[in-house]
Amino acid sequence: MRRVYYYFVITIYRAEKMKSWIVITGDEILRGKTLDYNSYWISKRLSGIGVDVTRKITVPDEKHVIAEAIRSGLKRADLIVTIGGLGPTPRDETLNALAVAIGKPLELNDKAKNLVSEAYKRLHLLGFVSSPEINEARRKMAKLPKGATPLRNELGGAPAVVTPSEGSLILSLPGIPSEMMYTLEQAIPLLSERIKAKGVVRTREFYIEKRDESLLADVFEKVMDQIENVEIKSYPVGFGKRMQMRIIAVAHVDSPEEAEEKLDEAISLMKTLIGQDLS
């Protein structure tokens, strides 16, 4: 009997997952001058709390192109995450584009103004900028769409921004990776609150040494026919003789306890049908 390497990873999130688009802005990314690490990190972090990232779009630093991407996302997703374009230069157009996309004016936000002021005092003390004064370029970073909320950015000058729009949410993050990661963590509690619901999803992952994915199709179909609210997926891992199949069992149910029962049933049935020990 072939050995089976088995382990499981459990993730819990709501059954009807929040869908998200990521809009990456930046001419330098489109031209291949900068590697887009940010969207990878955001996808991984959002997936970990139960958000389903369904699309990524990279657009140039042009207001109307960014606005159109945001508008498209709002028609199809619950959460739009924009990356970059929050800084003080004329090419930082994300907040202007966001205002156009949702039809709300930009206005000087008092909380954002205070955050920008605090940030530049801090940066001045650290010797990163020559003056802590808030000039017009820096004031630009505190002009947010009406109804938006700024999020503190301890690592840079521009706050992140959370903007509600017709039941959806737009989260605008800085483009510098360290600032993006810091401000994303400020938003995670808010996002977690929005995705709470009765239903949960739990997953288990394991590996088997069958190398022909087509031979598993009938097994998966029988398992899903016999056990409601369970989905089985497979992914080849490795090459040649070392190739294995990564199997993911997903239960969409009302409680963690029910999810465990469903997954136990699915694993047991697959064990019988495949003829390999999965435990």
End of a domain among 155, 170, 194? 194
φ/ψ of residue 238, rounded to 5: 90, -175
For residue 70, the enclosing domain spans: 18-194
Calculate helix-pair angle for 38-48, 177-194, nearest 10 degrees.
20
The answer to whether residue 10 sits within a structural domain is no
Same domain? 241 vs 137: no
Which positions of the chain have pLDDT values less than 50?
Answer: 1-15, 197-198, 277-279
Which pair of structure tokens corresponds to residue 90? 């004329």
Same domain? 53 vs 123: yes
The answer to whether residue 1 sits within a structural domain is no
| Burial class (CB within 10 angstroms; exposed 0-12, middle 13-18, buried 19+) of 206 | buried
Same domain? 116 vs 206: no
Task: Round to whole Å and give the CA distance between 226 and 165.
Answer: 42
Count of domains observed in the chain = 2
Identity of the residue numbered 39: S
Residue with tokens 């003789």, as numbered in its chain: 241
φ/ψ of residue 50, rounded to 5: 95, 15
Task: Assign residue 63 the CATH number of its domain.
Answer: 3.40.980.10
- Give pLDDT, residue 279: 43
Query: Which DSSP symbol is given to 103?
Result: T
**First CA to last CA distance, the chain:** 14
- Give pLDDT, residue 95: 97
φ/ψ of residue 19, rounded to 5: -95, 140
End of a domain among 165, 194, 223? 194
Query: Which DSSP symbol is given to 240?
Result: G
Same domain? 189 vs 229: no
Please say whether the beta carbons of 113 and 142 come within 8 A: yes
Residue 234 pairs in a beta bridge with: 247
Same domain? 92 vs 219: no
The answer to whether residue 4 sits within a structural domain is no
Task: Round to whole Å and give the CA distance between 169 and 58.
Answer: 19
End of a domain among 149, 175, 194? 194
Task: Round to whole Å and give the CA distance between 81 and 18.
Answer: 13
Same domain? 159 vs 237: no
Task: Round to whole Å and give the CA distance between 56 and 23.
Answer: 6
Same domain? 76 vs 170: yes
Same domain? 62 vs 185: yes
Task: Round to whole Å and give the CA distance between 138 and 253.
Answer: 49
Same domain? 204 vs 239: yes
Same domain? 75 vs 41: yes
- Give pLDDT, residue 163: 97
The answer to whether residue 221 sits within a structural domain is yes
Task: Round to whole Å and give the CA distance between 234 and 12.
Answer: 20
137 Cβ neighbours under 8 A, 6+ residues apart: 88, 89
- Give pLDDT, residue 242: 63
Same domain? 157 vs 38: yes
The answer to whether residue 40 sits within a structural domain is yes
pLDDT tens-digit profile of 30-69? Answer: 999 999 999 999 998 988 777 889 999 999 999 999 999 9
170 Cβ neighbours under 8 A, 6+ residues apart: 70, 74, 79, 80, 81, 82, 98, 102, 161, 162, 163, 164
Same domain? 111 vs 215: no
